[in-house]
Structure 1
Amino acid sequence: MTTEDLRLTIAAELERTRARTALLTEAVDDDDLTRQHSPLMSPLVWDLAHVGNQEELWLVRDVGGRDPVRQDIDELYDAFKHARRDRPALPLLDPLEARAYVARVRDKALDVLDRVRFDPGARLLDGGFAFGMIVQHEQQHDETMLATHQLRTGSPVLTAPPPPAAANAVRGEIFIDAGGFVMGTDTEPWALDNERPAHTVDLGAFWIDAAPTTNGQYAAFIDAGGYDDPRWWSERGWAHRQKAGLAAPLHWIRDRDGWLRRRFGHVEPVPMEEPVVHVCYFEAEAYAAWAGKRLPTEAEWEKAARFDPATGRSRRYPWGDDPPGPAHANLGQRHLSPAPVGAYPAGASPLGVHQLIGDVWEWVSSGFEPYPGFRAFPYPEYSEVFHGGDYKVLRGGSFGTDAAACRGTFRNWDHPIRRQIFSGFRCARDHV
């Protein structure tokens, strides 16, 4: 890619990402923007100004060497200094001020983009990394804002066409033979520090479900008394189930004829063929035990997603090295729900595993740890400070994850009790 092509690509990604941010923040009135819809989430107006502040810090000040736009608000929008539940009490920019601020920052960032040299010797600039980091950061907050929209009450404000129907039936398990594969990456230009470095991992043979666990399968677990039987739950999981009063996935409502769900302001029957979403790690773990299985490890998930036995190499995505298209995966808020199992045959891995990218983030059994040879870059607070904490990894992205922030090596993590995120799972088991 030439330097000019890289500039055009970055400019297009910045514009496309900002259009999504605008959609999510302009769909509601100023009262909704400033209201906290859940103590787990920031007011939408905080997210809006925060993405602008990060863009100012990294692109305007650091890469561009320009004077600050609003240095006085840095602390207000530092995610480490103020817990989400406390942010409504801060003297935040109001919606008009926030919109003006992010627009002013963007003008300066684009001016930096026009003038910067993508020096391969400078890690922040090699391949446009700093710009890619900001695109991914804003897209991650867009997904967070989408989750906030799911938690808000009131009339629906977001619209999108339904996902495609299943193209073919996908059932059962896929056998993954023993052997090594390359996990992580050294070559993905916008990969974040926790995806690096590439390293070989040897795994024993295992089985993994060909598709994520569906609502119908999960409803069978509920109907079998799965939430009332401590046999299926870990000690921590059972304690949390009791304390939180868990009885079904978040947003499910028991109806005389079955289950309903609340989805972005709509109440509708739960589609039994879609992957289950809004379950925490402990719920996923309990279902797997009830089904006589377990959750895959992170390495097992990535091998199932990337390893091509015909070539012995690891692909960027399950389907190959080409970026995701509409036929490959349910990404980017193109739809407002997971797609039915079997909807994306073109996105299957060489081993025959479906819907590994998009639809729902998939809990895996691994904690969030650094890869061998990990080096924090460009700052420890992105990944390093979370290593070894009480986190479980999620892989694959969701229908709310943008393609810019999702690939076969991308790692997400969260506390095992969280389920406001678009989280689901699939099961695995040992080969015996």
Structure 2
Amino acid sequence: MKRISLKTSIDLTFAVFMIAFIVLAYSTYNRAESVRENRLIVYRTSNINAVLEKILSSTIDIETGTRGYTITGDTSYLQVYKKGNKSLDVWIDSLQSMNETNALQLQKLDTIKQLIESRKIISAQVIKTRGEEGIEEAISIIKEGRGKEVMDSIRNSITNYQNEAVRILSENLTQTEENVKARNTNFALFVIIAFIVVVFAYVKIRQNAKQLLIEKTIQENLMDELIVQNQQLNDFANITSHNLRSPASNITALIATIEENSTVDEYKMIFDMLKKVAQNLNESLNQLMEVLHIKKNKLIDKEVLTFQKIYSKTLESLQGEILKSKAVIKADFSAVGEIEYSKIYLESIFHNLISNALKYRDLVRIPEITIQTEKKNNHIFLHVADNGLGIDLEKNGHKIFGMHQIFHNHPDAKGIGLFMTKTQIESMKGKISVSSEASVGTTFTVMFAT
């Protein structure tokens, strides 16, 4: 049998390597395109759900303004009513533009628009009757119940719309997971093939190099050729590793990082986080709806919870802000270590109180936050104290737990955290109080019902 020359061995090895690379690269590219398309769907679904919440919120503003004006005759409530009307037009137009090519979604949107138009007509009739004929006539229209029926239908329609959006989101995340797994498999195959090819090339070079030792020049050329080949492989690995790394700092940035040139480990990490994003998105939607329904909810699941575990989970979710602010947080749960309570409520209480302490810190000093439990008169108390900006209670104490009440300039301030916290605590028959002094700090005290 004729012996294969060194040059032929190298050429064949490189040809096998290139064929494997082209096949795997093409397969990986197709997977990357699918991931990119799914990413756009995820982003669009998130935007649709956000706009649906705005539509529901604006509809509630109309209902609130109408009822407030009907009961009190105070025309300031009409500003809320008008604001809701104006906002609704904007958000509905936005939602319609997001679904221009989806006939089914446009049909659902038409149903919501018709219901909202009915709600507007009823509200306008009540307001007109209140102004012209008095409160009794206006209330009689409300008692007919048509407005409540329409509002319930709006809520149900929006909830169904959101559930469908979340279902689509979950399907696309599942498909993305499959594509990422396939891409990881392709990359692993490429690494294995590349390793085998390099080993094979090395062995063949060693076998054939013995025949060329007498010719120094040929030997040096072969070594140079091998070095170039290895350098090319090393450069490819370095470029791949560099281009497949991208930061994941928030939801939008996290989704945007799913690119075809990310590393395998980063794809695994990013997809794990994407699954959490989908879960947290669903939880966030439920919590926003919870503000509207919480006082009607009579059955709230309770379980035995450990304060330390809830506290530790909260710190994990706020770790970035803690590191950024260099905050010193101390916790002492020795007085009371456990409580039978709603897990989602207790997590929300811890998150809102600690995140507020970090958010409204005094920039001239290091934030210090102290958390401790106490048992007194058969009641369990939770104290969260900070040395932040504080609140002027004489001026703002009566509205500190009100909806959309903001007392300090902060880009992330929404004025809903303390409102939700108070609502959750009171729904569990508890109480929350506050003591504060401007530029000194604030202490929130939660009394849990026994």
More helix by share: 2
TM over 0.5, shorter chain? no
Q: Which has the higher contact order (CA 8 A, sep 6+)?
A: 1
Pick the TM interval, shorter chain.
under 0.3
